[in-house]
Amino acid sequence: MRDAPAPRLARPFVVVFLAAFVICALATIEAWPLTAWRLFSHPRSDQQTAWSATAVDSQGHEHEYPLGASEMGYRGFIFLMGSFAERSPAEQLERCDTWREGPPELLGVESREVRIYMSEWTLSDREGDRAVRGEPELRYTCRPGAVDAQA
């Protein structure tokens, strides 16, 4: 018995699928069923870090900054903050200005400054079945023309 040949479009389909798979992985595109495999490509440890931001209005009141809620998105904020300290002052200021001048329709206020907080915790420190998350600590304040780093 002779094996039937593969359908005529099978090979081109496989080539296109594999090319799309590689492109998604290299460009970190999450387009289901293709993926950049970020879930498995970043090391996980017991020590966890999270970043958050608040917008400060003209009266000095803080408002939660909706990271990732914008259509254009400020997604990737966590990854940007991971290398923020190593960036040049000009690059830090450019990023801060982008966040500070963020879309007022999302913030609900005109942002005078943006405060960036970092929380750290250890997953093995538990309260019941949940890890006890660390309190946010102010790390950076983005003001017009300046980025103030906290010690």
Backbone angles phi and psi of 142, in degrees to 5: -95, 115
Residue 50: is it exposed, middle or buried by C-beta count within 10 angstroms (0-12/13-18/19+)?
A: middle
Domain shared by 80 and 36, yes or no: no
**pLDDT computed for residue 125 by the predictor:** 87
d(CA 64, CA 138): 14
Instruction: State the total domains in the chain.
Output: 2
Is the pLDDT assigned to residue 132 strictly greater than 80? yes
| Mean pLDDT (whole number) for 19-47 | 77
Reported pTM: 0.67
SS3 (DSSP) at 23: helix
Domain shared by 66 and 125, yes or no: yes
User: What is the per-residue pLDDT across 64-103, written as a single tens digit (0 to 9) for each?
Assistant: 887 766 555 556 788 888 899 999 999 999 989 888 887 6
> Distance of CA 9 to CAs 6, 13, 17, 64, 66, Å?
8, 6, 12, 52, 46
Domain shared by 36 and 51, yes or no: no
Q: Is residue 2 part of a domain?
A: no
Q: The tokens of 46 are what?
A: 């017991």
Domain shared by 126 and 80, yes or no: yes
Q: Which domain does 112 fall in, by range?
A: 43-149
Q: Is residue 5 part of a domain?
A: no
